[in-house]
Structures are given as C-alpha cells and as structure tokens.
A and B are shown apart, each in its own frame.
Chain A
Amino acid sequence: MTLAQKGRWTTAAGLVLLAAVYVRALAFTPIERLQGPAQKIFYIHVPAAIWTETAMILVGLASLFFLFLKDPRLDSFAAASAEVGTAFATIVLTTGPIWGKPIWGTWWTWDARLTSTLFLFFLYIGYLLLRGAVADPGARARYPAVLGICGMVLVPFIHFSVYLFRTLHPMPIILKPSAPSLPGSMLATWAFSFAVFSVLYVGFVMQRYALARARQEAPHV
C-alpha cells in the first residue's frame, strides 16, 4: 500500500470517528448549564484550535531540521503540515463565530484570541504564498523554512498577548497550568474528539506529504 493510500484510509477512519464524536457530543454528553447547546461546538472548536497551533510548531520544527539536514522529506512535511494547519485554522475561525453569536451576541469581536487565530491564519496563508512565489528551485525550500521557523517562534508571542489583553474569550480550561476544570463526561467527549482530530491531522498530512514527494520526484509531470 502506498503512503497516499494509507493516508486516504486514515482520513476515512478519522471521518467515521468524527461522526461518532458528533453522536457522543450531541446525545450522550450533558448540556452545559449556562451556555446551553451552543457549548457543544467546544468539542470541535478546541481540538481544531490546538491542532492549528501544533501544526505551526511542527512546520517550524521541520523547517529547523531542514536547514541543518537539507533533507527534502522534511520540506515536504512542512508544506503538508502548513496546508492542513490552514484547513484547521479555517475550522476554528468558522466555528468560533457560530458559537459567539448566541453567547456573545455578535459574530465577531476583536478579542485577543480571535485576533491571534486570525493572524495565525494569515501566517499560514503567507507561508503558502511564499512557497508558491519563489522561482529559484534552491530557495523554494529554504525561504519557507526561514519563515516557518519565525512563525513557530511567533506563536508563543501571540499566545502571551491572550493573557495580557483584556479578553472576552473563555479562559483555557484544558491547557492551563492547573488541572482541567471540566466535568468528567465532558472531558471524555473532548478527549475523544481531540484524538479523532489527531487522526485526521495525520491522515491529511500523509496524503499531502505523498503528493509533495511525488511532485519533488517528477516536477514536470
């Protein structure tokens, strides 16, 4: 089985499991007392948000190792991870406003967290644009690598602004210094969803990576 096929099967499994996440989140998880059914979006939104940031960190790490090892496979992985990260950032930016409308009473607000996710999205777009805009074949891998490393370093700076800026956004309840403050059944649903999103990330990246490798090996086909 080729890598692309493996990636397709992994993605298929992830999508089936995603349906299971919906069923569990909607039918078998208690409704939050204050936010009502709108809180259900949290099970999709937060795993996608975590993977959006993780994907950027992985882009940065792959870029860093690429500059030292000059292994084109690392470059392909960075490209794949950036593409999947862009997709996940889109999920975060669409599910966020859907939740925001009933809870905050507005689709969009210039809250620090929204803004920082939006800028992460712009960072991804810039990264993909730069990949497409470099004509010189040697620089085509090096320039994005430089940007990828800078992007990875930028993420914590963006994240710190969350704590400093006055924010409307619910404070993190999963990734925070103390233990997660979430009832057990909700936490279980969330963990399940996070695992499914991880499977999806791996599946998507495998497919895009296989494509990028194929392109590197036969650039003119």
Chain B
Amino acid sequence: MAPRSRTRTARRWGRPVLEGLKLAWVVARKDLLLEFRTRTAILSALVFTALVLTVFEFGRDPTAVPTIDLAPSILWVTFTFAAMLALNRAFALELENQALEGLLVSPLSRTSLYWGKLIANLVFVVVVEAVGLPLFVLFFDVPVWPVLLPLVGVIALATVGFVAVGTLFSAMVIRTRLAELLLIVLLLPFLTPPLIAAVQVTARLLAGRPIAEAAGWLKLLASYDIVFVTLSTLLFPHTVDE
C-alpha cells in the first residue's frame, strides 16, 4: 500500500514539475533562438569580455605585481561585468510590442517563465565564460590545467548565484526609469558574497592549495545558490503580476 501511494504522490508532483520545466525550456529556446539569429548581444558580450581582459593587462605594472596574484580578481571582475551585461537584455527584448504581456496571458506558469529566463541567461553567460576563460589563460599565462575541473565547478556555482538574482532584478528594472544603470546599482551588492567566495576559492586553486582549504567558501557559494534560486522563484510572480 505504502509504496503504491508513494508512486502516486510522486507522479502527482512529478508531472507538473516536469511539465513546468518543459515549458521553461520552450521560453529559454525562444530566447536563445532569437539570440542565435541576431547574434548582436552575444557578440558584444564576447568583445566586451576580451576588452576588459585587455584593459586589465594594461592597467597593471607587470614588473611589480606577479600575474598569479592578480589573476583571480581579473577573472572574476571580468565575469561579473559580462554577466551583468548579459542580464540587461533578458527582459529588454520582451518590452517590444508588449511581448511580456503575451507571455503572461499564455498558459505558462510564472515559475516556468522565470526558469526559462534563468536557463537562457545561464546559457548566455556560460558561452561568454567559455570564451573568456581560454582568453584569460592565453593573455595571462595562468596554469589552470591541473585545476581545470574544480575551477569550472566554482565558475558554475558562482554563475548560478549571479544569474538567479540578476534575472529576478532585470524583470523589475526594465519597467523603471533608470533601467540598465539601476540594475548594476541593485545587483552589485548581491553579487559581492559569491564574488568574494569565488575569488577566494580561485586564488587557492591557482596557488595549488588543496580544495579542502576553501571548504567554507564553497559552502557559502552553494548555500547562496540554493537560497537565492528558491527565493527568486518564489518572488518572481510579484514582479510581473499586476
């Protein structure tokens, strides 16, 4: 009796979740398709990333400061800026022709809409990071190969945190007077805890220290992700509903 009722509950709960994710993917695919066809935003984000890395190269004295000491900050400041650039466009493209109203009246739950935007933003930022990381290695000659896997893990953890909060905020700021500028002002305090944690972990990784030394920071990153993905999912309906 017990196992049967459990499967029934699982089915009852499992199906809407699966359905919701499927719809979220529809939203994400729509955004990504638009992005892929126009390619303006992704190209500007990639060029922006390369430019920031170049500016860092010339914004330091290579004889005074060893690259390895600056490398974690360079990597993370670049990624933070690139992520914010990407987040600005998430809801901006729904403003034209009142496309957002169309999405809101369609049989699509608010959660699916948020997750769709979240997935599209994640893909966008991950693409930028996937190009940014090799450029970073090329420009600064940082020995990332031995720690590539944990480094990618840290980047993934921090990116989820950045994008979860950013997607929520970008839904609000597009309908304010200051839009892009306001997103940066609102978002940066929220990006600081994951940014500090990511820089600390990256610094330890690049210095060849054992990953266990950064366990506290990794826990901070992981809990930040869990808390803010959940919170943003719950709060998102309040940013789009009347």
B64 on the A face (CB < 8 A): no
Q: Which residues of B contact A119 (CB under 8 A)?
A: 189, 192
What residues of chain A lie closer than 8 Å to B175, measured between beta carbons? 134-136, 139
- Which A residues from 96 to 133 make CB contacts under 8 A with B? 115, 119-120, 122-123, 125-126, 129-130, 133
In the bound assembly, the distance between CA atoms of A134 and B196 in angstroms comes to 31
Contact residues of B between 160 and 201, Cβ < 8 Å to A: 165, 168-169, 172-173, 175-178, 182, 185-186, 188-190, 192-193, 196-197, 200
In the assembly, what is the distance between CA of A143 and CA of B168, in Å? 10
Interface: A211 (CB within 8 A): no
Question: How close is A195's CB to chain B, nearest CB, in angstroms?
Answer: 30
In the bound complex, CA of A130 to CA of B176 (Å): 8
A26 shortest CB reach to chain B, Å: 36
Kindly state whether residue A154 has any CB partner on chain B within 8 Å: yes
The answer on a CB contact under 8 Å between B193 and A135 is: no
The answer to whether A134 and B176 touch (CB under 8 A), given A150-B235, A161-B193, is yes
Contact flags (1/0) for B193-233 with A, using CB distance below 8 Å?
A: 10011001000000000000000110010001001100110
Interface residues on B, range: 20 to 34
Instruction: Give chain B's interface secondary structure class.
Output: helix
Q: What residues of B have a CB within 8 angstroms of the CB of A165 in the complex?
A: 196, 200
Q: Does A146 belong to the interface (CB within 8 Å)?
A: yes
Q: Does A170 contact B (CB under 8 A)?
A: no
Interface residues of A in 155-188 (CB under 8 A from B): 157-158, 160-161, 164-165
B61 at interface, CB cutoff 8 A: no
Among the listed B169, B185, B224, which residue makes an inter-chain contact with A125, where contact means beta carbons less than 8 Å apart? B185
Asked whether, in the complex, the Cβ of A153 is within 8 Å of the Cβ of B227, the reply is yes
Not counting A122-B188, A134-B177, A150-B190, a sample of 6 additional A-B residue pairs whose C-beta atoms are within 8 angstroms of each other reads A135-B176, A143-B172, A147-B169, A157-B224, A158-B193, A165-B200
Q: Across chains A and B, which 6 residue pairs bring their CB atoms closest together, nearest first?
A: A133-B176, A157-B193, A126-B186, A119-B189, A123-B189, A143-B172
Q: List 14 A-B contacts (CB under 8 A).
A: A123-B189, A134-B177, A135-B176, A135-B177, A138-B242, A143-B239, A145-B238, A150-B232, A150-B235, A153-B231, A157-B193, A158-B192, A160-B193, A164-B200
Residues of A at under 8 Å CB distance from B? 67, 115, 119-120, 122-123, 125-126, 129-130, 133-136, 138-139, 142-143, 145-147, 149-150, 153-154, 157-158, 160-161, 164-165
